[in-house]
Amino acid sequence: MTGQNSEEHLDIALLPLADGRRVVLPLELLAEVRVLEQEPESPPQELSWRGHALSLDSLEGFCGLPVLQPEQWKSVAVCRAAAYCDPAFRALAFDGIGEHRRVSAADLEELDGATWFSEFERLYASA
């Protein structure tokens, strides 16, 4: 999974939302996706990642949807931000497992339950 794109295809990540939809992101915007290790009695508020202390936010909340409780988070996506953003990375937690696909433009339009949220466009379109 190199995240390389060609004129015909785009590598994307599909991150699940609690309501059944999936957020579509170009794979190049993800620095890492991993299982979130947490203790049930003390859900994490912060992710220590490659020397950065990243605040953990809900993917749903970032997309303007009702926020999941931290106890429901199973994975975290570390996203690269646009050059003008501070911090340079953002940790977004979600319930489920992300998926990688290589798609054509036609395939992208036909992905079931996939959506693009304007908040991602604003923060990550220039990354």
**What torsion do the CA atoms of 42, 65, 50, 30 make, to the nearest 10 degrees?**
150
Q: Looking at residues 66-89, what average pLDDT do you find?
A: 86
Q: What is the pTM of this model?
A: 0.77
| pLDDT exceeds cutoff 80 at 85 | no
- pLDDT the model gives residue 17: 92
Confidence grade of residue 113 (pLDDT, cut at 50, 70, 90): low
Do you find a cis peptide bond into 87, omega within 30 degrees of 0? yes
